[in-house]
Amino acid sequence: MERIIFYILAFVIIAFAVASVNSRRMLRSVVYLAFVLISIAGFFFLIDYNLLAAIQLTVYAGGIIVLIIFSVLLVHHIEMRLEMASIAKRITTAVLCLVGMGVFIYTIHSFEFEMVENTKSTTTQDIGDRLLSYGDGGFILPFEVISILLLAAMIGAIVIAKGTKLMDKNS
C-alpha cells in the first residue's frame, strides 16, 4: 500500500517538476511548483516525519509559494507567455542533465547502503529537544544563527524592495 502511494507521489513530483520548468505561463509554473512541494510534504508524512511535513506545507507550500505568486503578479501580465531558450540550448542542457542523472543514479545503485531496520517514529519533542539542546549533537548554535540570518534577510528584503524612490521620500 505504502509502496503504491510512494510511486504515485514520485510520479506526481517528477511530472509536475517537469511541467513547472517547461510551462510558458508564469503563474502555472508556480502552481505546478506548489504541487511538487505538496507532494513532497506527502512524502514526509509517508516517511513518518510529521513535523517536517507540516513545516513543508506551511513554510514552503504556504509562505514561499504565496511570495512567488505575489512577485509574479507584481511584475507580469497574467497572459504573458514566457520566452523560451533556443531549441539547441534546451537539447544540450537536457542531454547534459540526462548524463548527470545517469551518473548519479548509477553511482547510487552501485553503492551498498547499510540499512537499519527500525519502525520507531520520531516525535516533535525529539526534534525540538535536539534543536534546542546545547549538549552533544545539539543544534542550539545553528538555531540561533539561522534566526539571525532570517532577521537579516527580512531587513535586507525590506531595504532592497523599498528601493531608492521611497528612500528619497524619507530624506
Partner 1 sequence: MNYAEILLIPFIPLAVFLVLGIFYNRIKPAVSGIIGVLGLLISTLLSIKVAYQYFFVLGKDGGAYQAIVHKTAWMNFTETLRIDMGVLLDPISIMMLLVVSIVSLMVHIYSRGYMKGDPGYTKFFAFLSLFTFSMYGLVLATNLFQIYIFWELVGVSSYLLIGFYYTKPSAVAAAKKAFIVTRFADLGFLIGILIIGFYTGTYDFELLNDPQGSPLLSWAASSFFGMSVLSWGLLLIFLGGAGKSAMFPLHIWLPDAMEGPTPVSALIHAATMVVAGVYLVARLFPMYYFVEDGIILQVVAFVGAFSALFAAIIAITQNDIKRVLAYSTMSQLAYMMLALGVSGYDGEAGLGYMASMFHLFTHAMFKALLFLCAGSVIHAVHSNYLKDMGGLRKHMPITHITFLIAALAIAGIPPLAGFWSKDEILAAVYEKDMLLYTIALLVAGLTAFYMFRIYFGIFWKKDPEYATTPHESPATMTIPLIILAIFSALAGFVPFGQYISADRIALDVHINVPLAITAVLMGIAGIGLAWLFYKKETDLPDRLAASLGKLYTWSYHKFYIDEVYLFVTRKVLFKRVAEPAAKFDRQVVDGTMVGIGNSTVRTSEKIKAMQSGKVQDYAMAFVAGVLVIVIFFVYYLTQ
Partner 2 sequence: MIEDVSLYEILTVTSILFFIGVYGFITRKNLISILISVELLLNASVVNFVAINKYLYPDVLQGVVFSIFIIAVAAAETALAVAIIINLYRQISSVEVKDVETMKY
Question: Which residues have CB under 8 Å from 50's CB, separation 6+?
Answer: 44, 124
Answer for which of 114, 125, 134, 141 binds partner 2 (CB under 8 A) is: 114
Cβ atoms of 51 and 127 within 8 Å: the answer is yes
Dist. CA 140–CA 129, nearest whole Å: 10
Residues between 52 and 91 that touch partner 2 (CB under 8 A):
52, 55-56, 59-60, 63-64, 67-68, 70-72, 74-76, 82-85, 89-90
Query: Per residue in 6-29, is it b (16+ CB within 10 Å) or e — as a string?
Result: eeebeebbeebeebbeebebbbeb
Q: C-beta of 79: minimal distance to partner 2 in Å? A: 15
Select from partner 2, partner 1, none the partner in contact with residue 115, using the beta carbon and a kind-dependent cut-off of 5 to 8 Å.
Answer: partner 2
* Residue 103 within binding range of partner 1, rule CB under 8 A: yes
* Residue 99 within binding range of partner 1, rule CB under 8 A: yes
Q: Residue 71's closest CA among 166, 149, 3, 157? A: 157
* Residue 131 within binding range of partner 2, rule CB under 8 A: yes
Residues between 25 and 54 that touch partner 2 (CB under 8 A):
26, 29-30, 33, 36-37, 40, 43-44, 46-49, 51-52
Instruction: Give the nearer residue to partner 2 in terms of CB position, either 78 or 115.
Output: 115
Binders of partner 2: how many residues, by CB under 8 A?
Answer: 85
- Contact region with partner 1 (CB under 8 A), list: 40-48, 75-83, 99-107, 124-132: 99-107
Write out the three cell numbers for 82. Answer: 514566457
Cβ atoms of 44 and 52 within 8 Å: the answer is yes
